[in-house]
Amino acid sequence: MTKLEQLKQWVMQSDNIVFFGGAGVSCESGIPDFRSEDGLYRQQYRYPPETILSHRFYLHHPEEFFTFYRNKMLYLDAKPNPAHQKLAQWEKEGKLKAVITQNIDGLHQAAGSKEVLELHGSVHRNYCGKCGKEYPASYIRDSQGIPRCSCGGRIKPDVVLYEESLDEDVIARSVMRIQEAQMLIIGGTSLAVYPAAGLIRFYQGNRLVVINRDPTPQDDRADLVIHGKIGEILGQL
Ligand code: APR
């Protein structure tokens, strides 16, 4: 039996699949990841991108933060690829219970997924720090300099910056989903960033699958590892 046939069989037999994903899931939608050769963190800027995407930088250099954010973090024309679509289909079929993602691009919801746990927030939620009014991503994209609310307050994207904590409720729900999962599929992530990557330890089943272009730290523990492009791979199931 090939690895793909094994994956197909396990999916057919499962009714509680949980997916844990990262930037690699959106690469086939045209959004670069962070740590690959052509990833965002490999490109040269005045400051390292991880510095720019930090709470401290956001506070002290807001103009530069928003210039980088508009140019490098907003891909509002990106469309879901077969990976997003297959996961949404499995949820509709009652096979998949949740997508847990580190991505902030909203492509899982755009593909039709309902239970999407966004560990690092979303570019589609932007709130005024003063009055709490919510704005769409397009408002940030089309604004200049520091985006301002009609009340004059500064609008902040609801994305988790370095030095910021993740939403406790999202973490709790993600842990519960992973603990209950019959099958956990990890895809398109280097598992390099904590606490997100640490959630994997709560999986207790014997169908841990990794689908990733490059090796990951979970490969040795996984029950099935497929190295390749996740959109292509899931698109064949
Ligand atoms: N198919 C499968 N895997 C892919 C594909 C693809 N088409 N393209 C890239 N990958 C893999 C790469 O091999 C890499 O291991 O996806 C992984 C992407 O890893 P990262 O760039 O580190 O992205 P991610 O794991 O999501 O980073 C986690 O870091 O900076 C923070 O908040 C940011 O959420 C992000 C977090």
Position 44 pLDDT exceeds 90? no
Q: What is the pLDDT of residues 179-195, one digit of tens each?
A: 999 999 999 999 999 99
Cα–Cα nearest to 120, from 23, 18, 229: 23
Q: How confident is the model at residue 93, as a pLDDT?
A: 97
User: For residue 46, what pLDDT band results from cuts at 50, 70 and 90?
Assistant: confident
SS3 of 171-232: HHHHHHHHHHCCEEEEECCCCCCCCHHHHHHHCCCCCEEEEECCCCCCCCCCCEEEECCHHH
Q: How confident is the model at residue 41, as a pLDDT?
A: 84
Position 154 pLDDT exceeds 90? yes
* Spacing, Cα 24 to ligand 1 middle (Å): 4
Cα–Cα nearest to 26, from 161, 120, 115: 120
Q: Is 229 in the pocket of ligand 1 (CB under 6 A)?
A: yes
Q: Is 223 exposed, middle or buried (0-12, 13-18, 19+ CB in 10 A)?
A: middle
Q: How confident is the model at residue 43, as a pLDDT?
A: 83
Q: How confident is the model at residue 38, as a pLDDT?
A: 86
Closest ligand 1 atom, residue 39 Cα: 21
Q: What is the pLDDT of residues 66-89, one digit of tens each?
A: 999 999 999 999 999 999 999 999
Select which of 61, 120, 124, 227 is catalytic. Answer: 120
pTM (two decimals): 0.97
* Spacing, Cα 108 to ligand 1 middle (Å): 15
Average pLDDT over residues 203-216: 98
- At 202, which amino acid appears? F
Q: How confident is the model at residue 155, as a pLDDT?
A: 98
Token pair listed for 202: 């709560």
Q: What is the pLDDT of residues 1-30, one digit of tens each?
A: 999 999 999 999 999 999 999 999 999 999
Q: What helix, strand, coil percent values describe the chain, rounded to 5?
A: 35, 20, 45
